[in-house]
Chain A
Amino acid sequence: MNDPLVYVLTAAAVFGIGVHGLIAARHLMRKLLAINLMLSAVFLLLLATSAPLGQAPDPVPQALVLTGIVIGVSSTAFALALMVRLVRRQGHASLGRRDER
Chain B
Amino acid sequence: MSAGLLVDAALGLILVGLALQVISGHQLFRSIVFYVAFGLVMAMIWARLGALDLALADAALGAGLVGALMMVAFRRLVEFEPVQTADAGARDSTLVPVVALLSAALVAALGFSALPVADIEGRAGELALARLDELGLGNPVAAVVLVFRGFDTLIEMLVLLTAYLGARVVAEPRTRLAEPVQAYELPLVRSLLAVIVPIVMLVAFNLLWIGADHPGGAFQAGSMLAAAGVLLLLTGRLLPVERSTWLTRLALMLGVAALLLLVLAPMLAGHVAMAYAGRGALLAAEAAMMMSITLTLTLLFAGAPAVRVLR
The judgment on whether A and B are partners is: yes
Chain A positions near chain B (C-beta within 8 angstroms): 2-21, 23-27, 29-30, 32-34, 36-37, 40-41, 43-45, 47-63, 65-67, 69-78, 80-85, 87-88, 91-94, 96
Whether A11 contacts B111 by the Cβ 8 Å rule is: yes
Check if B305 is an interface residue, CB within 8 A of chain A.
no
Q: Give Cα A50 to B51, complex, Å.
A: 12
A57 touches B32 (CB 8 A): no
Q: Chain B, 102-143, contact with A by CB distance < 8 Å: what is the 0/1 string? A: 011101101110110111100111101100000000001101
B163 within 8 A of A: yes
Q: Whole-angstrom distance from the CB of A43 to the nearest CB of chain B?
A: 8
> Once the chains bind, are B70 and A80 in contact (CB under 8 Å)?
yes
What are 12 A-B contacts with C-beta separation under 8 Å? A7-B12, A16-B101, A27-B86, A36-B66, A49-B115, A56-B51, A56-B140, A57-B50, A66-B219, A77-B300, A82-B170, A93-B77
Q: B287 an interface residue at 8 Å Cβ cutoff?
A: no
Which residues of chain B are near A63, meaning CB under 8 Å?
141, 144-145, 149, 152
Q: Is the CB of A47 within 8 A of B96?
A: no
CB-defined contacts of B97 to chain A, threshold 8 Å: 20
Partner pick for A23 among B57, B100, B115, B152, CB 8 A cutoff = B100
Residue of A nearest to B42 (CB): A40
Does B144 lie within 8 Å of A60, measured CB to CB?
yes
**Partner-contacting stretch, out of B13-21, B242-250, B260-268:** B13-21
Residues of B within 8 A of A (CB): 4-5, 8-9, 11-13, 15-16, 19-20, 22-23, 28, 31-32, 35, 38-39, 42, 45-46, 48-51, 53-54, 57-58, 61-62, 65-66, 69-70, 73-74, 76-77, 80-81, 84-91, 96-97, 99-101, 103-105, 107-108, 110-112, 114-115, 117-120, 123-126, 128-129, 140-141, 143-145, 149, 152-153, 156, 159-160, 162-163, 166-167, 170-172, 219, 297, 300, 303
In the complex, chain B residues whose CB is within 8 Å of the CB of A85: 170-172
CB distance from A93 to the nearest CB of B (A): 7
Residues of chain B lying within 8 A (CB to CB) of residue A65: 51, 54
Q: Give which listed residue, A17, A62, A75, contacts B23 with CB less than 8 A.
A: A17
A9 touches B87 (CB 8 A): no
B166 contacts across to A, CB distance below 8 A:
78, 81-82
Is the pair A29, B74 in contact by a Cβ cutoff of 8 Å? yes
Given A50-B117, A59-B129, A74-B160, are A21 and B22 also a contact pair (CB < 8 Å)?
Answer: yes
Could you say which residues of chain A place their CB within 8 Å of the CB of B53? 62, 66
Query: Contact between B73 and A11 (Cβ–Cβ < 8 Å)?
Result: no
Q: List chain A residues, Cβ under 8 A from B118.
A: 51
CA distance A73 to B103 in the complex (A): 24
Q: Are A62 and B51 in contact (CB under 8 A)?
A: yes
Contact of A87 among B32, B70, B77 (CB under 8 A): B77
